[in-house]
């Protein structure tokens, strides 16, 4: 069974459930259009959360690089062996 068949089966089930609830007088708000709107809304919400998380990671990486630059400026060549090992690790932090 492919994705299209599963999607169509779920949409038919949603329509059937909405029709049954409507005949019982419970609600007429459960249908594929409302469900699609809800899914799209949540998709945009998750995209926003992902962007927010990405910005936090970028800001953390930026702060770490600033700290490493400050240590290099303060300690000069003494800190180079340590900083040469830490900088590639900081560069690998990403989403």
DSSP string, 18-73: HHHHHHHTS-S--SHHHHHHHHHHHHHHHHHHHHHHHHHHHHHHHHHHHHHHHHHH
pLDDT digits (tens, 9 = 90+) for 11-40: 888 888 877 877 877 766 666 677 778 878
Which of the given ranges, 1-15, 27-41, 60-74, has the highest pLDDT on average? Answer: 60-74
pLDDT class for 63, splitting at 50, 70, 90? very high
Predicted TM-score (pTM) of this structure? 0.58
Q: Is the pLDDT of residue 74 over 80?
A: yes
* Average pLDDT taken over every residue of the chain: 84
């Amino acid at each position: 069974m492919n994705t299209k068949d599963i999607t169509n089966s779920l949409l038919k089930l949603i329509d059937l459930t909405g029709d049954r609830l409507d005949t019982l007088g419970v609600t007429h708000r459960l249908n594929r259009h409302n469900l699609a709107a809800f899914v799209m809304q949540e998709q945009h919400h998750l995209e926003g959360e992902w962007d927010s998380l990405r910005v936090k990671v970028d800001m953390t990486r930026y702060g770490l690089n600033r700290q490493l630059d400050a240590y290099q400026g303060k300690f000069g060549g003494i800190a180079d062996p340590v900083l040469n090992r830490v900088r590639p690790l900081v560069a690998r932090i990403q989403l």
